[in-house]
Amino acid sequence: MGVYLDNAATSYPKPIEVAKSIYDFMINNGTSSGRGSYQKAMQSDFLVYETRKLIASLFNFNNPKNVIFTSNITESLNLALRGILKENDHVVTSSLEHNAVWRCLKTLEKDRNISITKVSADEKGYTNINDVKNCIKENTALVVFTHASNVLGTIQPIKEIGKLCRKNKIPFLVDAAQTAGAYPIDVEKENIDILAFTGHKSLLGPMGTGGLVINCNYNINPLKSGGTGGDSSYEYQPNYYPNKLEAGTLNVSGIVGLKEAINFINKETVEKIHDKEKELTKYALEELKKVKDIKIYGPKNNEDIVGVISFNIKNYKAEDVAHYLDTKHNIMVRAGLHCAPNAHDLINTKSIGTLRIGIGYFNEKEDINKLVTSLNNL
Ligand SMILES: Cc1ncc(COP(=O)(O)O)c(C=O)c1O
């Protein structure tokens, strides 16, 4: 199958149980959840609710009804940002955001006249908590931060930012795309009000799944209106979770796959997954350093990053190196801006992009060795 090192985009392979559970559901059940009272539909409801429970407990959250399903974290983030931010509000964000946050904020700047303060990070992607503090204004209505950069891997000081937000009574939204499943997250201890997750990265589930964990009472207006399977004569969206934010038929087959993915993670444990990825990241940092003319961006300490490493090779275009790795050695990495242009301002790579490896739980040291050997033969 070649060497897959693009787990930051989406994880591959998935645990076999994930594929099997989706197949089994589609063949043997296939009914909508929340829509029927016959036995199979009740079973479908049960599977969805069990998944809400698993997600809640993965993040040490005790209210499964406040776990909302979406089709990916882009939808989750749009839902939270558009659902909270009003005309003339101010928002504080990091300088590392993915376009899932950044483009949404820029659109709201045009449409709702919101103002945005981007907290500057240093060239390694470290954010100073005092800089966040200094950005808070009277009309700050939300703070939104990525948990870890998808370009530099740098883990952000979420707990401290959350504490600051609690003190100032400002909702705190965290983009956990690069951490959920591979890094321990505790919404209580880390003062996270709203956690956005995607199912297909380190949660090891199928594409088309994601959601929000809503650990607060701040109002979030729905992005969509429509059927919820109950209260049908009421002409507006119901005002309780999860129905308030889940209009339309859910992706039950995907959610069932996500359920098995989380069961797999729980069996392995997040700690074990985290330790393995951390060890591989340390190894990759050490081995990549030996490649001729390489420039590695971001922290060189594996304690401070997730399994994401960006680099360039002098005198080579990132796209050409990625093409060479793919066509000559069947090694899959990503080249470009990785949908996070602002992070490239920090490392002066906006015009050239970077090569990025995304290490996953199913990678081994051998994969890194093959990458390093191939880069040395460039
Ligand atoms: C930090 C971050 N946020 C958001 C996203 C968007 O994820 P999705 O395509 O699953 O919506 C990504 C994916 O690359 C990401 O890395």
Compute, in angstroms, the gap from residue 85 CA to the centroid of ligand 1.
21
Alpha carbon nearest to ligand 1 atom 16, residue: 150
Q: Which domain holds residue 286?
A: 3-12+270-377
- DSSP secondary-structure letter at 302? T
Q: Does the beta carbon of 150 sit less than 6 angstroms from any atom of ligand 1?
A: yes
Is residue 164 located within the same domain as residue 300? no
Alpha carbon nearest to ligand 1 atom 12, residue: 177
CATH number at residue 302: 3.90.1150.10
Pair type for strands 308-313 and 354-358: antiparallel
Is residue 25 located within the same domain as residue 174? yes
**pLDDT value, residue 175:** 98
Say which amino acid occupies 367.
D
Q: Does the beta carbon of 156 sit less than 6 angstroms from any atom of ligand 1?
A: no
Is residue 7 located within the same domain as residue 43? no
CB-facing half-sphere around the CA of 140: CA atoms within 13 A: 25
Please give the number of the atom of ligand 1 that sits closest to the Cα of 207.
Answer: 10
Is residue 51 located within the same domain as residue 119? yes
Is residue 279 located within the same domain as residue 264? no
Which among 26, 90, 83 is positioned nearest to 257, based on CA atoms? 26
Q: How far apart are CA 201 and CA 198, in angstroms?
A: 7
Best probe residue, ligand 1, of 79, 96, 98 (max atoms within 8 Å of C-beta): 98
Is residue 248 located within the same domain as residue 303? no
Q: Does the beta carbon of 97 sit less than 6 angstroms from any atom of ligand 1?
A: no
Domain end: 268, 288, 313, which one? 268
Is residue 143 located within the same domain as residue 67? yes
Compute, in angstroms, the gap from residue 30 CA to the centroid of ligand 1.
28
Is residue 174 located within the same domain as residue 261? yes
Best probe residue, ligand 1, of 94, 144, 147, 178 (max atoms within 8 Å of C-beta): 178
Domain end: 240, 268, 296, which one? 268
Q: Does the beta carbon of 349 sit less than 6 angstroms from any atom of ligand 1?
A: no
Q: Does the beta carbon of 198 sit less than 6 angstroms from any atom of ligand 1?
A: yes
Domain end: 268, 297, 332, which one? 268
**pLDDT value, residue 230:** 86
Please give the number of the atom of ligand 1 that sits closest to the Cα of 148.
Answer: 1
Please give the number of the atom of ligand 1 that sits closest to the Cα of 198.
Answer: 10
Count of structural domains within the chain: 2
Is residue 238 located within the same domain as residue 152? yes
Q: For the sheet containing 308-313, what is the strand order?
A: 294-296, 308-313, 354-358, 334-336
pLDDT (tens, 9 = 90+) of the chain, 378 residues, equals 799 999 999 999 999 999 999 999 999 999 999 888 999 999 999 999 999 999 999 999 999 999 999 999 999 999 999 999 999 999 999 999 999 999 999 999 999 999 999 999 999 999 999 999 999 999 999 999 999 999 999 999 999 999 999 999 999 999 999 999 999 999 999 999 999 999 999 999 999 999 999 999 999 999 999 999 888 999 999 999 999 999 999 999 999 999 999 999 999 999 999 999 999 999 999 999 999 999 999 999 999 999 999 999 999 999 999 999 999 999 999 999 999 999 999 999 999 999 999 999 999 999 999 999 999 999
Is residue 218 located within the same domain as residue 297? no
Is residue 250 located within the same domain as residue 329? no
Cis peptide before 13 (omega within 30 of 0): yes
Best probe residue, ligand 1, of 10, 74, 183 (max atoms within 8 Å of C-beta): 74
CB-facing half-sphere around the CA of 292: CA atoms within 13 A: 8
* Other beta carbons less than 10 A from residue 197's beta carbon: 31
CATH number at residue 38: 3.40.640.10
Best probe residue, ligand 1, of 175, 179, 337 (max atoms within 8 Å of C-beta): 175
Is residue 174 located within the same domain as residue 221? yes
Which among 213, 198, 207 is positioned nearest to 68, based on CA atoms? 213
Distance of CA 181 to the CA centre of its chain: 10
Q: How far apart are CA 114 and CA 105, in angstroms?
A: 8
Q: How far apart are CA 258 and CA 2, in angstroms?
A: 25
